[in-house]
């Protein structure tokens, strides 16, 4: 990551600060099913 990318990320976080809770809720709803699918795909072959 270069400096510009980091600065843009910091600015984005500052701008969307009030929406962080929404992002957390979405990540909580979205990532576990994806992780579960990936786990089933990988470990299902070994089970």
CA–CA gap between residue 5 and residue 26 (Å, rounded): 24
This prediction's pTM: 0.38
Q: Assess contact for 37 and 30: CB atoms under 8 A.
A: no
CA–CA gap between residue 26 and residue 38 (Å, rounded): 18
The pLDDT value given to residue 1: 62
Q: How many other CB atoms are there within 10 angstroms of residue 38's CB atom?
A: 10
The pLDDT value given to residue 47: 59
The pLDDT value given to residue 28: 85
The pLDDT value given to residue 20: 74
pLDDT tens per residue across span 1-47: 688 888 888 888 777 776 777 778 888 888 888 888 888 888 877 65
The pLDDT value given to residue 39: 87
């Amino acid at each position: 990551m270069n400096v510009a990318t980091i600065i843009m990320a910091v600015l984005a976080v500052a701008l969307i600060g009030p929406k962080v809770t929404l992002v957390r809720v979405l990540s909580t709803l979205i990532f576990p099913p994806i992780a579960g699918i990936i786990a089933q795909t990988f470990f299902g072959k070994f089970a």
